Amino acid sequence: MKVQELLAELPIERFRNPPPVVAVVRLSGVIGQIGPLRGGLSLAGLASTLERAFKLYNVKSVALAINSPGGSPVQSALIARRIRALAQEHEVPVLAFAEDVAASGGYWLACAADEIFADENSIVGSIGVVSGGFGLSGLIRRLGVERRLYTAGERKAMLDPFLPEKPEDVERLRAVQRDIHDSFKSWVGLRRGAKLKGSVEDLYSGEFWTGKRALELGLIDGIGDLRGVLRERHGDNVKLRVIGPPRPWFRLPFLRSAIEETDRAAAWTGQVMAAVEERTLWSRYGL
């Protein structure tokens, strides 16, 4: 075959006009450390994935597929700020898509996008701060257990679950929560601005809504799913590239079983408690 014939067989047009590419980054799960061996979403775990997403060849936008009930406000803020920094550096728009839930820290992440979409039945919002724990002072008293605790610093044992709760300690905790809540409200106000249509009292009360109601309140920009919106935005030939973290060597198949068995033996109790905590976060939204 002649050279000209070979060239004619090549898909030259695809090189001249490559199809648009959208990088898809999944932000699924609880935000922050869940247990001794189970890490949730964190900037450290997502940094390289986000970098690769924004540097993808011919990328037209980055899509965040969010399914998170929230978690650490610090990690939520760090991840969101990194997304914004990369979007500005590479001049690539960001679209967020709420799946089952984008609430609390999950909505914090969604606000890093230029536009937010959700299903009509997605759970969206919960712009607030919550802390929880157990009071066990009565239990150990009934069991005849004596609590011995020594501190340097009068507030070091504040809210210890084995000691009776003090009103002044609760007020200090609420002051910390108010500071975090103010940061959350400032972020939402910065990112959503004039799009917000509800009253401040309602929007920032910690309440959550379905996607349909969230659209009416200006918390999201539209109803739709990731694939449908991106095809409408970029055309039917758009290529969706899911960007995930590189697979660490210690999770390769030939080592996985032995390590996971060791993990289970080493931290079974911690893992159970972490699973209960994670389940509590999801069940708060009826999931």
Catalytic residues, by residue number, are 104, 156
Question: Contact at 8 Å (CB) between 122 and 98?
Answer: yes
Give strand pairing partners of 210: 123
Q: How far apart are CA 170 and CA 158, in angstroms?
A: 9
Report how far Cα 231 is from the mean position of its chain's Cα atoms. 24
Helices 73-90, 167-192: axis angle to 10 degrees equals: 20
Tokens of 49: 């994935």
Residue type, 282: W
Angstrom CA distances, 217 to 124, 188, 195, 212, stand at: 11, 13, 8, 9
Question: Contact at 8 Å (CB) between 129 and 73?
Answer: yes
